[in-house]
């Protein structure tokens, strides 16, 4: 049968270990110094071992004290995070926390989430942008959105579901196209801006039937697609653009698609969430909105590409 120790005494022990002082622990817990000392004495008596060694005004943990306080820290951290999660999910805190890869966060989600907030007054959304695949399992997020091949991420106990696929297509400014991409010019000799984590140029050439005239000679590498696209808008190079990130720039005329083909990605943006059945109404509303917003945007992408005479190629149909 489980034997329960005094939670008051355990809190006092944890506070003294963290602050290194009985006085500081008393201040933190809003009690007197003698009250802390009494709780420590009762706990040591109950456990049958010394937890602290006292030399003058100095106090330090014994080996047993270190072992106990290590466990107490983990336990109190878990209590704190679990309590916060329960409060938030119970409806007392209508907040949705989303961890998103930087490209998707800055290139699409940040510009769309306002419509969700307008339609759902009282619900707040916290969006945290992170390097793709950095799950931060020690934090409590309702959803995580990362890209990659389905099932490739070591997501632990999280459930993965496909959110969408994008369309890859070369993009540049009209000025760049006039200078480097005219008939008779060797496209391979033009400057290229490349996301070093995701480079599908050769695949795009193979499926579209486009012959660049050789290997790319002038390349600048970036660690995010948004960076390569952003620099492409300056007119200095050709980049491979994700349709989620480039369509607004194409519609504004800041970028063009110089070749008439786009290739549906084999990778996906995936939505990761806990398989637990306990989910707040706010989180359910957010997922419903997100999937509908993505589907609507995908339809807009196809319409806009069709208007510009751009073929959309699907590997599975090749």
Q: How many CA atoms lie within 13 A of 78 on its CB side?
A: 6
pLDDT value, residue 302: 95
pLDDT value, residue 317: 66
Please say if the pLDDT value at position 227 is more than 80. yes
The average pLDDT across 265-281 equals 87
Please say if the pLDDT value at position 51 is more than 90. no
Torsion angles phi and psi, residue 17, rounded to 5: -65, -40
pLDDT value, residue 92: 46
Q: Measured in whole angstroms, how far is the alpha carbon of residue 199 from the centre of its chain?
A: 21
Task: Please give the model's pTM, rounded to 2 decimal places.
Answer: 0.69
Token pair 């751009």: residue: 310
Go through the chain and tell me how many residues it has: 318
The helix/strand/coil state of 189 is: helix
Q: How confident is the model at residue 25 (pLDDT cuts 50, 70, 90)?
A: confident
Please say if the pLDDT value at position 53 is more than 80. yes
pLDDT in tens, 62-82: 999 899 889 888 888 888 777
pLDDT in tens, 137-177: 888 899 999 999 988 888 778 899 999 999 999 999 999 99
Torsion angles phi and psi, residue 24, rounded to 5: -65, -40
């Amino acid at each position: 049968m489980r034997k329960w120790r005094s939670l008051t005494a355990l809190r006092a022990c944890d506070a003294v270990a963290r602050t290194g002082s009985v006085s500081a622990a008393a201040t933190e817990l809003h009690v007197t110094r003698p009250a802390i000392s009494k709780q420590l004495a009762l706990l040591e008596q109950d456990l049958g071992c010394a937890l602290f060694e006292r030399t003058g005004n100095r106090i330090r943990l014994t080996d047993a004290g270190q072992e106990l306080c290590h466990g107490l820290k983990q336990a109190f951290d878990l209590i704190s995070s679990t309590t916060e999660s329960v409060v938030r999910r119970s409806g007392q805190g209508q907040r949705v926390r989303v961890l998103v890869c930087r490209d998707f966060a800055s290139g699409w989600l940040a510009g769309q989430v306002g419509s969700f907030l307008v339609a759902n007054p009282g619900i707040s959304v916290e969006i945290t942008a992170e390097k793709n695949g950095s799950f931060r399992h020690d934090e409590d997020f309702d959803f995580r959105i990362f890209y990659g091949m389905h099932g490739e991420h070591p997501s632990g106990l999280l459930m993965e579901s496909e959110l969408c696929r994008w369309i890859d297509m070369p993009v540049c400014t009209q000025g760049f196209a006039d200078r480097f991409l005219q008939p008779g010019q060797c496209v391979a000799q033009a400057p290229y801006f490349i996301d070093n984590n995701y480079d599908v140029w050769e695949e795009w050439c193979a499926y579209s039937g486009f012959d660049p005239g050789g290997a790319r000679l002038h390349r600048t590498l970036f660690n995010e697609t948004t960076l390569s696209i952003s620099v492409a808008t300056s007119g200095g190079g050709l980049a491979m653009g994700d349709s989620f990130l480039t369509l607004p720039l194409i519609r504004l005329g800041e970028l063009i698609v110089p070749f008439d083909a786009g290739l549906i990605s084999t990778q996906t943006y995936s939505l990761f969430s806990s398989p637990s059945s306990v989910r707040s109404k706010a989180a359910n509303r957010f997922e419903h909105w997100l999937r509908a917003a993505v589907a609507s945007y995908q339809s807009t992408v196809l319409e806009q590409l069709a208007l510009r005479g751009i073929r959309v190629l699907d590997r599975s149909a090749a």
